[in-house]
Copies of this chain bind each other. A is one copy, B any other.
Amino acid sequence: MIKARITVTLKNGVLDPQGKAIEHALGALGFDGVDSVRQGKVFDVELQGGDKSKVEAEIKAMCDKLLANTVIENYAVEIA
């Protein structure tokens, strides 16, 4: 079994209202030093299969088809 962590983040320049809301909430809680917050998603996936390069290609396909919107999001894959 292979464990992978997929991190999906918004591309630079894409507005992130959720991140902005968190930024303001942190300011309201007294954390003054916060310049910016951007929120993304992380997926911890467990897959069958031993061939790492095959699994990596499969995960990329998953990201392109379902997990990330590649128009506005980047993704990074870490295989443990």
Residue ranges of A at the interface with B (Cβ–Cβ < 8 Å): 1, 7, 9, 19, 22, 25-26, 29, 31, 33-49, 55, 58, 61-62, 65-67
Residues of B within 8 A of A62 (CB): 26, 29, 31, 34
Are the C-beta atoms of B42 and A39 separated by less than 8 Å?
yes
Given contacts A22-B67, A26-B66, contact A38 B33 (CB under 8 A): no
Q: Nearest CB to that of A23 among chain B residues?
A: B45
Given contacts A26-B66, A65-B29, contact A34 B45 (CB under 8 A): yes
C-alpha gap A71/B26 in the complex (Å)? 20
Are the C-beta atoms of A35 and B1 separated by less than 8 Å?
yes
Are the C-beta atoms of A7 and B37 separated by less than 8 Å?
no
